[in-house]
Amino acid sequence: MSFWYYETFEGETRYGCLVSEVVFSGASDYQKVELLDTVHYGRALVLDGVFQTSEREEHFYHEMLVQPAMVCAPRIERVLVIGGGDGGAAREILRHPQVEEVLMVEIDAVVVEACKEHLPGMGAWDDPRLELIIGDGIGFVRETDRGPFDAIFVDGCDPVGPAVDLFGSEFYDDCARILANDGVCAFQTESPILQRDVFTGIYRRLSGAFPRVHPYFGPAPLYASDLWSWTLASRNVDHLSMREDRLATVEPGCKYYNRDIHRAAFAVPSYLKADLDAGG
């Protein structure tokens, strides 16, 4: 029997999906993990009661997290992903033939195994260029000697529980340290509507670690606010530069991202521009 599954945000807003079946329900050392068959979005991943991704709308999020950085970075041979246990970010990265190595550090093995089994089309788990490490991404970035990386992607959950420190100044400093001099980082940076203060705080902390910080925006239909933000950070990379050879490779297969979206996404809404100009 179908039922409504609701995500409630801070007791103020609620988002619901009609669910036809609970495909998987389990608990890791970090969180409750569920995979639900929703009527509208297909199979969806839910962590601690919060919708994360689904079959029919994941392209909005994963293409926007990954492709702007992959298209403007000078080099993309060595790539690091922190988080991203559903596999979607690594899949988007691996669409580029120039990529030689993707190192993915995900803290929760239960999420990875559940997604491999129940969302197999989301990732590119069999690509030999992908190396998966189950471990703490924060500690990895702090301690690794495997850099520098041409691109770093941080695909973490909301800033609660084990993901809190993914949004801290120390973590951002560590990302900058292991990034190549002409490398690019891309971070998911929360809802600029429901989490406006969180978004501006992230911008402020990133600006303390990187000379160039550029937020950008797009839809995320599964998330309660719909409008989502990501941020590119680098030392010297032009965020509006786009390499035609890479666009030619990925644009035809993208459902949302293209060169026009790339340019438009970096337009900052007026109410946020006032916040950012004032230092958050």
* Catalytic residue positions, numbered: 155
Phi, psi at 35, each rounded to 5°: -125, 125
Instruction: For residue 271, give every residue at least 6 positions away whose Cβ sits within 8 Å of its Cβ, in sequence order, or none.
Output: none
**CA angle centred on 95, ends 94 and 97, rounded to 5°:** 85
Query: If DSSP states are collapsed to H, E and C, what string results for 154-202?
Result: EECCCCCHHHHHHHCHHHHHHHHHHEEEEEEEEEECCCCCCCHHHHHHH
Number of CB atoms found within 10 A of residue 272's CB: 19
- Alpha carbons within 13 A on the beta-carbon side of 42: 10
